[in-house]
Amino acid sequence: MEKDLLAKDEMLSDEYHLYYIGKSYHDNVPSTSLPFGNDHVMELCRRGLFFFRKFLEVRHDFWRTGAPKRMDEMAYVTMVWMSNLHGIMGEVEDQIRFLRDAERFCPARNEHLKRLAVIFRRMRRFKEMHEVTTRMMLPERKNPFPGL
C-alpha cells in the first residue's frame, strides 16, 4: 500500500492512508517467518510507529499540542497499537505512556486500562496494577457500548 500511494503521489490525499499503512505494519509484526528475524521485526515496528505518528499529527496535531481535537476512537486504537509496537521493541515505559495517552482520545473505553494492568502485573508493579484495576471496577466505567 505504501509503495502504491507513493507511486501515485496520493500518500497525503487522505489521512486514512497513514492510518492503514501503520496498521499494516502493526499487523505484520507478529509474523514468525520474516527473513531477517528480529531486525526485521524492529524495522516493521519503527515504520508502523512512523505512520501512526503522522496520522495523529495530521488528524489532531497531537505532537505539537499534546491534546486531541475531539473524541476519536480511531486515534484511541492508534495509541493502543503504538503501545503494542513499543512493547515489542522492549520500550516498556513508552508502552505504558501510550496506553495512558490513549485515554485522552476516548475516556470511556477500558482496553488501555486492562493492558496497563497486565503490564504492571508482569513487571510486579502491584500497587499500580491495583490502582488501575480498582479504577476499572468503578460503576461509571461499565461497558461503554453501545453508548459511544
pLDDT in tens, 78-105: 999 999 999 999 999 999 999 999 999 9
Determine the length of the chain.
148
Chain position carrying cell 515489542: 88
When pLDDT is averaged across residues 1-16 and rounded to a whole number, the result is 56
Task: Please answer whether residues 148 and 108 qualify as being in contact, where contact means their C-beta atoms are separated by less than 8 angstroms.
Answer: yes
Spatial distance between the Cα atoms of 127 and 116, rounded to a whole number of angstroms: 12
The average pLDDT across 70-77 equals 95
pTM of the entire predicted model: 0.88
What is each CA distance from 38 to 29, 130, 134, in whole angstroms? 10, 34, 37
Beta carbons of 74 and 80 less than 8 angstroms apart: no
